[in-house]
Structure formats: C-alpha cells, structure tokens
C-alpha cells in the first residue's frame, strides 16, 4: 500500500524500474524502487508533488530512446535482439559459397596457419574468422550466431556489438598463435560467436552501478556465460578448437566489460555505430585484400 503523500509509477520489469530510477535521480527527483508483494510488479515510489514532472521526464526519456525498428525487446528477459545480425551471417554464408565454387581458394588464402602467421602473414588472424570447413560447421555457427550476435548487437549497439564480437574471434586465434604448435591450422566464426556470449555475460558488470551486488553479478553473469561456453564451445565435433573458443569467450568478456562501464552515449550513438561498422569493414576487407593479393 502506498504511504500517504506518495505516488506510484509502475514499470514493466526490474531492469526498467532501475533504469527509470537513474533517470529521475539524474533530474533531482527522489524515487525508490519497490516490488509489490501482492502482484510482483516493479514500481517507483515518488512524492505526490514530484509525480507530474517525474512522469514527464520518463516520457521524454522514452521518446529519446525509442527502440529502432531493427531492435526488438524480448519479453521477460529485458534484452534486445538486433535483426541486423542476419547481414553478417549472410556474408559468412556467401563467403563459404564462393569458396566452394573456387575449390577452396579462399580457404587456402585465409585459413589460420600458425607457421605462416609467425612468418608475417598476420592477416590470417582476421580472415580465418570468416571461413568455415564445411556446411555442418557453417550451419552450427549460423544457428548459434543468429541468437547471440543479435543479442550482443542489441545490448551494445549494432556497430560496437558486431565489431567487438569479431575482434573476440581474432583474439581466439591469437590464443592459438601463442599456445599451439607451428603446425596448427584452424578456421571458423566459433570464437566470434562465443565472444558474443562473453559480451552478454559481461554486461552484468555495468549493473553494479544500478544496485546489484558483486555476488549477483558473479552468479547471473559470469557463471551463466561459462555454462554457455561449456555447452557451445566444448563440442563433440572432431577437430574442435577448444583453445580458440575459450580465448574468444574471454576476449569478448573483457571487451564487453569495458563497454559496460563506459558511458552509454559513447557506444550507442549513431556516430559510434557507423564508426564501428567502418572499422569492421576495414579489417575484414583489408585483410582479405592482403590475403588474396599474395
């Protein structure tokens, strides 16, 4: 029951209530996040006199941060899914098709080969992320990528989310370069997909500023991410590159943690998204240009 002199603003979820609470506090309006013990709904408690300006501030905030048509909220989990991840997956499928038509020429030019990378062909760290050994390998990455890349792009912005997931895949091959023998060869976007999983686990770190305890973060974020790593990365498929999977997951977690504690306007603005996309295209097309020119 609401105390006399106070008003209730209902929220759709705990995440939304915490978000709104930060908005009101930044505007100098005191509010308390509370859960109704009878209905289980989350709400904000504000003074009667603060109710009209609080509602107006939240309406303005919602208008300024309206979800773009490419991003869709997932009911019950407080996450956003970005449909534009399909463009990345189509590119991977197209590249595999071209490689099949050319009898493996792309694979020879872009596969991660530890010996060749150590001899100076560094671009193979980048090109190998976009290659696949066969249709089964490709289908596995497309099916999981459609979920986790979309969620990472929804959480961090379509540009930064995709760029950092790709860099996490590169980090996976850097792990192979440092720890595997010179004869080691590998390819695939699995490290990139697991990098997206690591980024999703790391986003809980940003919630430390919203009142969650370190214990909550560890249980909900890190452990759930590690469980997904085991389920997806420790595959029974022959020649699975476990080291690249683990390094990609770790790289994604670190990169996601850095973004999680950064001001959101730095990573979700239109400019930041286009800059990230430009860097991604430069890395992908530039590395392939070097690989095919040899």
What is the pLDDT, as a whole number, of residue 15? 77
* Strand bridging mode 6-10 / 42-47: antiparallel
- In 213-240, which positions are buried (b, 16+ CB within 10 angstroms) versus exposed (e)? eeeebeeebbeebbebbeebbeeeeeeb
Domain limits, the chain: 6-66, 79-293
- From first to last of the 294 residues of the chain, give the pLDDT tens digit: 567 788 888 887 787 888 888 888 888 888 888 888 777 788 888 988 888 888 888 888 776 665 555 555 555 445 678 888 999 999 999 999 999 998 889 999 999 999 999 999 999 999 999 999 899 989 989 999 998 999 899 888 889 999 999 999 999 999 999 999 999 999 999 999 999 999 988 877 666 655 555 555 556 666 666 777 777 767 656 677 889 999 999 999 999 988 877 776 666 678 888 999 999 999 999 999 999 998
- Binning the chain into helix, strand and coil, the percentages to the nearest 5 are 65, 10, 25
Using CA atoms, how far apart are residues 242 and 261, in angstroms rounded to an integer?
Answer: 29
Token couple for 4: 């006399």
| pTM for the structure as a whole | 0.72
Same fold, 6-66 and 79-293: no
- Of all helices (H) and strands (E), which one includes residue 220? none
Do residues 177 and 171 make contact, with C-beta atoms less than 8 angstroms apart? Answer: no
CATH number for region 79-293: 1.20.1540.10
- In 133-159, which positions are buried (b, 16+ CB within 10 angstroms) versus exposed (e)? beeebbebbbebbbebbbbbbbbbbbb
What is the pLDDT, as a whole number, of residue 56? 87
What is the pLDDT, as a whole number, of residue 61? 77
Q: Quick one: fold of 6-66?
A: Alpha-Beta Plaits (3.30.70)
Give me the half-sphere count of Cα atoms (radius 13 Å) on the Cβ side of residue 235: 18
């Amino acid at each position: 029951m609401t105390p006399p002199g106070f008003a209730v603003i209902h929220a759709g979820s705990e995440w939304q209530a915490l978000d709104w609470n930060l908005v009101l506090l930044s505007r100098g309006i005191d509010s308390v996040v509370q859960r109704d013990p009878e209905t289980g709904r989350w709400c904000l408690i504000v003074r009667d006199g603060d109710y009209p300006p609080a509602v107006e501030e939240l309406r303005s905030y919602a208008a300024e941060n309206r979800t773009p048509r490419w991003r869709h909220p997932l009911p019950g989990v407080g996450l956003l899914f970005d449909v534009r991840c399909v463009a990345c997956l189509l590119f991977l499928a197209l590249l595999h098709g071209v490689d099949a038509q050319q009898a493996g020429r792309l694979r020879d030019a872009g596969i991660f080969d530890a010996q060749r990378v150590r001899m100076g062909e560094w671009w193979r760290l980048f090109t190998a992320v976009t290659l696949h050994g066969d249709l089964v390998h490709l289908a596995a990455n497309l099916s999981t990528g459609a979920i986790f890349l979309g969620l990472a792009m929804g959480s961090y912005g379509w540009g930064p989310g995709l760029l950092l997931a790709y860099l996490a895949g590169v980090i996976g091959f850097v792990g192979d370069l440092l720890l595997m023998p010179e004869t080691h060869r590998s390819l695939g976007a699995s490290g990139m997909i697991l990098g997206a999983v690591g980024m999703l686990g790391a986003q809980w770190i940003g919630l430390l500023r919203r009142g969650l305890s370190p214990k909550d973060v560890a249980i909900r974020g890190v452990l759930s991410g590690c469980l997904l790593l085991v389920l997806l990365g420790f595959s029974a498929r022959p020649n699975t590159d476990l080291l690249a999977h683990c390094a990609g997951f770790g790289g994604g977690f670190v990169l996601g943690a850095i973004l999680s504690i950064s001001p959101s306007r730095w990573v979700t603005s239109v400019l930041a998204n286009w800059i990230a996309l430009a860097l991604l295209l430069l890395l992908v097309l530039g590395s392939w240009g070097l690989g095919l020119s040899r």
